[in-house]
């Protein structure tokens, strides 16, 4: 194999890596965008219910997107220089991102099986204990209005709430955010035909489960992309190593071996 063929092959590998880097950058931006979008979309949910694992998965997902962009910047600087040490560090960065993406995918997949149970066990107590007691009230109203539901499991949950105990004059009534058409004191009627009867637990947990599955799928897809980048980078590293050996004299002990 001639050195020209070797250079050509290195050029091809570098061209593939340049294309990969462009896709890699878009992927990092997309991950951050999806992560922030899902965080804002779910903000009211984990304001009302303490879902530490769910928020941790989202944070890790966003951090991974940031690392992808950092890896792109490093690779953009390392690949043109043809320095094996820089390429080696770039490979390590790609492997690190791959491991983090794989961890996010595993956590998201595992937790999506238990997020429904967590919501069901915590939403009711949060509704009953926190309505008009603290800042969670706004999020509870948001959930009931936008998800078209009332209470955790049913509208009848509200008769056990601290909020109702503080308003004996409106016994067996519900917050106005339970109303299909919201108006002042619309939930205080004796025969509330204008309220939602379904509870909010399933309507909260299902979007969260979908978000976790989406994060899992995106993370797995990016992990596959990482494998392609690692393989191409290792190939470039080995080619550059071989080229260095061909162009530099080989040293054996104290003697320099000069090719015949």
> Are 140 and 127 in contact, with CB atoms under 8 Å apart?
yes
Q: CB within 8 A of 38, min separation 6: which ones?
A: 58, 211, 214, 215
Same domain, 60 and 108: yes
Same domain, 32 and 136: no
Percent of the chain with pLDDT over 90: 32
**What integer pLDDT is reported at residue 37 of this predicted model?**
94
Measured CA to CA, the distance from residue 120 to residue 114 in angstroms comes to 10
Measured CA to CA, the distance from residue 105 to residue 191 in angstroms comes to 48
Residue 79 clears pLDDT 70, i.e. is over it? yes
Give the mean pLDDT of 233-240: 84
Same domain, 66 and 174: no
Please report whether residue 210 resides in a domain. Answer: yes
For the beta carbon of residue 4, count every other beta carbon within 10 angstroms.
8
Please report whether residue 260 resides in a domain. Answer: no
Q: What angle do CA 11, 75, 85 make, to 5 degrees?
A: 85
Same domain, 194 and 208: no
Last-in-domain residue among 201, 216, 235: 201
Residue 129 clears pLDDT 60, i.e. is over it? yes
**What integer pLDDT is reported at residue 219 of this predicted model?**
93
Same domain, 161 and 178: yes
* Cα→Cα distances 113→56, 60, 212, 220, Å: 16, 19, 10, 18
Q: Which is more confident, 257 or 22? A: 22
Task: Report if pTM > 0.75.
Answer: yes
Please report whether residue 258 resides in a domain. Answer: no
Residue 106 clears pLDDT 90, i.e. is over it? yes
What one-character-per-residue DSSP string does 171-190 give?
A: TT---GGGBSS--TTGGG-S
Please report whether residue 252 resides in a domain. Answer: no
Please report whether residue 74 resides in a domain. Answer: yes
CATH code of the domain in which 167 resides: 1.10.1450
Residue 238 clears pLDDT 70, i.e. is over it? yes
Same domain, 17 and 144: no
Q: What is the pLDDT of residues 204-220, one digit of tens each?
A: 999 999 999 999 999 99
Residue 85 clears pLDDT 90, i.e. is over it? no
**What integer pLDDT is reported at residue 249 of this predicted model?**
53
Same domain, 177 and 214: no
Measured CA to CA, the distance from residue 62 to residue 32 in angstroms comes to 5
**What integer pLDDT is reported at residue 100 of this predicted model?**
93
Same domain, 219 and 103: yes
For the beta carbon of residue 233, count every other beta carbon within 10 angstroms.
24
Residue 91 tokens, joined = 């490979």
Please report whether residue 254 resides in a domain. Answer: no
Sign, CA torsion 186/153/161/42: negative
Residue 257 clears pLDDT 50, i.e. is over it? no
**What integer pLDDT is reported at residue 4 of this predicted model?**
44
Residue 219 tokens, joined = 């993370």
Same domain, 49 and 132: no
Q: Find, among 250, 258, 140, 247, the residue nearest to 201 by Cα.
A: 140
Please report whether residue 57 resides in a domain. Answer: yes
**What integer pLDDT is reported at residue 251 of this predicted model?**
43
Q: What is the pLDDT of residues 91-104, one digit of tens each?
A: 898 999 999 999 99
**What integer pLDDT is reported at residue 250 of this predicted model?**
52
Same domain, 56 and 11: yes
Domain count, the chain: 2
Same domain, 143 and 50: no
User: Which residues constitute the domain of residue 46?
Assistant: 3-115+203-244
Please report whether residue 182 resides in a domain. Answer: yes
Residue 253 clears pLDDT 60, i.e. is over it? no
Same domain, 188 and 89: no
């Amino acid at each position: 194999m001639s050195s020209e063929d070797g250079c050509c092959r290195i050029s091809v590998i570098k061209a593939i890596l340049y294309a990969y880097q462009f896709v890699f950058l878009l992927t990092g931006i997309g991950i951050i965008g999806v992560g922030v979008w899902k965080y804002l979309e779910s903000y009211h949910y984990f304001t009302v219910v303490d879902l530490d694992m769910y928020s941790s998965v989202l944070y890790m997902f966003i951090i991974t997107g940031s690392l992808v962009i950092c890896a792109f910047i490093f690779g953009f600087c390392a690949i043109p220089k043809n320095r094996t040490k820089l390429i080696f560090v770039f490979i390590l960065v790609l492997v690190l991102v791959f491991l983090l993406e794989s961890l996010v995918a595993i956590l998201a997949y595992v937790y999506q099986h238990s997020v429904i149970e967590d919501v069901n066990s915590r939403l009711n107590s949060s509704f009953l204990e926190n309505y008009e007691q603290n800042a969670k009230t706004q999020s509870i109203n948001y959930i009931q209005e936008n998800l078209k539901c009332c209470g955790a499991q049913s509208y009848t949950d509200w008769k056990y709430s601290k909020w109702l105990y503080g308003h004996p004059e409106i016994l067996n009534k519900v917050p106005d955010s339970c109303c299909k058409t919201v108006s002042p004191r619309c939930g205080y009627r004796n025969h509330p035909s204008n309220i939602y009867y379904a509870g909010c637990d399933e309507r909260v947990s299902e979007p969260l489960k979908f978000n976790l599955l989406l994060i899992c799928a995106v993370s797995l897809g990016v992990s596959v992309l990482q494998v392609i980048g690692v393989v191409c980078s290792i190939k470039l590293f080995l080619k550059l190593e071989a080229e260095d050996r061909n162009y530099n004299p080989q040293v054996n002990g104290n003697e320099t071996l000069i090719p015949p």
